[in-house]
A and B are shown apart, each in its own frame.
Chain A
Amino acid sequence: MTELEDAQDVERTLAGDLDAYANIVDRWQGRLVTLAFRFCGDRAWAEDLAQTALVRAFRRLDQWQNKGSFSGWLITLATNVNRSALRAQRPRFETLHEADLAHGPLEPDAAQRDAARTVREAVARLPPRYRDVFVLFYFHECDIAATASTLGLPAGTVKARLARGRRILREELATRLGLEAP
């Protein structure tokens, strides 16, 4: 996924070529559905949210116009869609079928997958100010600067919220995961 491909497809889309936007949908669908799932915990809902983000991006495509990175613009837009949805409705967690998840190298066995899921659910239950920075920083692989930019916060605030959120998680997960108390 490159910024150049995105920029070219945006340009073609604005010129009226909808197939170019299909390329953008194809490139971004996995990341946007995953991001939404991190917020809401429900696959069907996550697909609705990702679709809403892609439609909203299409409507506002002329507002991007190469101002900054397309990926940053799209992730910010999608994050706002997800946060708005969660202000109206609580997250709900479902157990995904194994086939729905593409596991990374840090999940060697089922026990660790369960533990990781427990952590994700605990993150989703954090107060929104902490949840949002955790979802972007850990699960969406943003660094401090990207997380701050996406949420429109100073970097220091992001660091402080990460630190406070970690303390809350340690307290909550100490018993549930059999980890040492903080």
Chain B
Amino acid sequence: MSEQLEQLLQTQDTVTPSERFGTRTMTRIRGVDGERSGLPFPWARFAIGAAGVAVAGGALAASSGNATGIAEMVLALVGTALAIRGSLWAVGGSY
């Protein structure tokens, strides 16, 4: 039986994809490629800006002795980031 089973297991056949398989797949691929090339979120610029705001906020808070200044700066930073992300999403960008 082992030989018979081996022979059956080694039977070779292939399934032929439907005619439009290649076209449909490439349509999806082009869609993926389009998403990729959307407007990217400017993380590098955002990081530089965030660092600048943090330094300025820290200096301001230290000079005024106002501890809530730092928290206000952080909130402003988060709000700005969300606004940028929202506007990119609205124009179809990716981030």
Chain A interface (Cβ < 8 Å from any Cβ of B): 18, 21-22, 25-26, 29-31, 33-34, 37, 43, 46-47, 50-51, 54-55, 58-59, 96, 99-107, 112-113, 115-116, 119, 123, 134, 138, 141, 166, 169-170, 173-174, 177, 179-182
Known contacts A34-B14, A54-B29, A112-B11; 20 further A-B pairs (Cβ under 8 A): A21-B26, A29-B25, A33-B16, A37-B15, A51-B24, A51-B28, A55-B25, A59-B32, A100-B15, A101-B14, A101-B16, A106-B10, A107-B11, A113-B11, A116-B8, A119-B5, A123-B9, A138-B9, A177-B8, A181-B1
Q: How many positions in chain B have a CB within 8 Å of any CB in the partner chain?
A: 26
CB distance from A87 to the nearest CB of B (A): 22
Cβ of B64 under 8 Å from chain A: no
Q: Report the separation of the CA atoms of residues A112 and B9 in the bound assembly, to the nearest whole angstrom.
A: 11
Interface code B1-35, partner A: CB below 8 Å = 1, 0 otherwise? Answer: 11011011111111111100110111011101100
Within 8 A of A (CB), among B46-75: none
CB distance from B88 to the nearest CB of A (A): 20
Taking a contact as CB atoms under 8 Å apart, the answer to whether A43 and B15 are in contact is yes
Within the complex, which residue of A96, A99, A116 is in contact with B11, where a contact is CB–CB below 8 Å?
A116
Q: Ordered nearest first, which 4 A-B pairs have the shortest CB separation?
A: A104-B12, A116-B11, A119-B8, A138-B9
Chain B interface (Cβ < 8 Å from any Cβ of A): 1-2, 4-5, 7-18, 21-22, 24-26, 28-30, 32-33
Inside 8 A of B4's CB, which chain A residues have their CB?
177, 179
Count: A-B pairs, CB below 8 Å: 107
18 contacts between A and B (CB under 8 A): A22-B26, A25-B26, A25-B29, A30-B16, A33-B16, A34-B14, A37-B15, A50-B25, A51-B28, A58-B33, A103-B13, A106-B7, A107-B13, A113-B11, A115-B8, A116-B13, A138-B9, A174-B1
For A118, give the chain B residue with the smallest CB separation.
Answer: B8
Within the complex, which residue of A18, A29, A113, A119 is in contact with B22, where a contact is CB–CB below 8 Å?
A29
The DSSP consensus for interface residues of chain B is: helix
Taking a contact as CB atoms under 8 Å apart, the answer to whether B29 and A21 are in contact is yes
For A44, give the chain B residue with the smallest CB separation.
Answer: B18
The DSSP consensus for interface residues of chain A is: helix
CB distance from B4 to the nearest CB of A (A): 6
